[in-house]
Structure 1
Amino acid sequence: MAERITDGPPTLGSALGSALGIALRAYAEEHGKVRRGDKRPAYALHVAEIQRLFPDAQFVHLVRDGRGCVASLLRMQRTGPSAHPRRTGHPPVGTWTARLTSDQIRLSEAVLGERLTSYGYELAGVVRPDPAELPCYRRVEVPRRAAHAKRRALDHLARVRAPGPVACRPATG
């Protein structure tokens, strides 16, 4: 693999993407696959950078049932991210219908219902939660959204303030 990387494009800007791309292609070949994918949600915030590193990248936008996301997040809170089924070898405990309580399903559908139906998901048909239950959700949601917005703003500032190309002079002989 070292030779493949050193034989890659000579420009500094493309070197990182080229080296990483060669390593990912080798991984795919090793597993008998044509291509290799990565599904980290945070990549959605860096599509432009990824496109510059991998000009031939293909992006697939998947829409997941929000109730399944809720079930996964709740499971991670209880067990931690290292207890993910892929890492432990244990299969997941079923779909969101088996992993969420009826109260959690009601709250999820009250908050996500319009979005779920707009993407073609059917609601479970549970009774809507008491309006007094929604402030509990809001107390968690508002700080999380604010933290995400702050992180995006700080990342943007870091990119804007990053130094430009290094000035250089031709070598004199």
Structure 2
Amino acid sequence: MLHSHPRLAVPPETRFLMPAYYRRRSFGDLRDVSCRRSLAEWIATDRSTKFRELKIDKHEFVQQAVDGPGSLGSVIGTAFRMYAERFGKPRWGDKRPSYVKHTDLLLRLFPDAQFIHLIRDGRDCVASLKEMPWYTHDSFHAVSTWAEAIDAGDRLRRTLPQDSYFELRYEHLTDDPSTELKKLCAFLGEDFAPSMVSPREAASIAVPVHKVWHSNTHGEVTRSRVGSWAKRLDAWEIALCEHVLGERLEAHGYELTGAAPATKEHLALCQKTMNKRRASRMRKAMRDRFNRLREPSPVAAMLTTGQRALAGVPQQRHESPELVERAG
């Protein structure tokens, strides 16, 4: 829907933004041309990054990254900027469900970013995760994933400015796309475009055919999956969801069925999973705080006048007014 807007470009999910951030020390001082080249070549050629999904020329990307500002966000942002330029659009976005738990890192890279959090019934999310061909975890991890995302969103709603964070309900969006997308465009500072309500034309370009789990994007907006968890989850999974996620579900307007209580065994296994995931996040956060003390070069993007102003870099005379736009 966002990619269907004439000014917004949102590519298929990539896999280089967060890995590049966590590996930033290994690329050296990005104010050095050779270091920028090394990072750009890794993004463009490593099979794990899915750079090919952007369908932009890798040699041109490397050259633009080398010629651009010496910061991590600038090199990463150059790839997305070039993707937007493929469609003649001035603004770009990126999407991954896990970003909701990493907004502090994303704001380090793109201090002017705006975040859209799409919230869906946790039971439907658990059911969908189970069916994804790439999902290798069990239902306890799926339950934990939704709980973590909702808790992270609650923190962001309390701490981020109103012009930086926006919550959107999946059920409302599929029920009345025009009304919800008008609200979203107002948040983004963009005019609503009717083309957003029928995104299937853009999907034929922006959604790779091999991503069969996104096949619904090639058709009209549908509510067929709303509440489908009732048929897709086993009874014990419904009981577990409503016990572990119950307060969160009700806080976001979702009704509980009054299912039978979850078993002690299932609750213990779920709690164990949640504890392990929490410990892993804490360890990763501690490593990142330590690495921030030894960063070899600037992190924040400096590709637009707004970003350069936030970084304390003087405006250049030849800059186009269009570059004042937010980058994310």
TM-score, normalised relative to structure 2: 0.39
Partner of 1:116: 249
SS of match in other structure, 2:293:
helix
Indicate the structure (1 or 2) with the bigger Cα radius of gyration.
Answer: 1
Q: Does 1:60 align with 2:95?
A: no
Identical positions, percent: 36
SS of match in other structure, 1:61:
strand
Given candidates 21, 25, 28, the residue that maps to 2:84 is 25
Structure with a larger share of its residues in strand:
2
Given candidates 239, 244, 248, the residue that maps to 1:106 is 239
Offset from partner CA, 1:98-153 (integer Å, 9 cap, x none): 22111100111000000100011111231222445422322322222222222222
2:84 is aligned with what amino acid?
Answer: R
Structure number with higher relative contact order (C-alpha < 8 Å, ≥ 6 residues apart): 2
Q: d(CA) in 1 for partners of 2:285 and 2:233? A: 31
- In structure 1, the gaps of 5 or more residues are 166-173
**Distance change >3 Å, CA 86–CA 65, structure 1 → 2:** farther
1:16 is aligned with what amino acid?
Answer: V
Partner of 2:39: none
Q: CA deviation at 1:18?
A: 4.7
Runs of at least 4 residues of structure 1 off by over 6 A?
none
Q: Does 1:12 align with 2:66?
A: no
Q: d(CA) in 1 for partners of 2:93 and 2:77? A: 16
- In structure 2, the gaps of 5 or more residues are 1-56, 137-208, 217-223, 299-328
TM-score, normalised relative to structure 1: 0.66
Structure with a larger share of its residues in helix:
1
Number of equivalences: 157
Q: d(CA) in 1 for partners of 2:108 and 2:254? A: 35
1:80 is aligned with what amino acid?
Answer: W
Given candidates 145, 149, 157, the residue that maps to 2:282 is 149
**Distance change >3 Å, CA 72–CA 154, structure 1 → 2:** farther
Q: CA deviation at 1:23?
A: 1.8
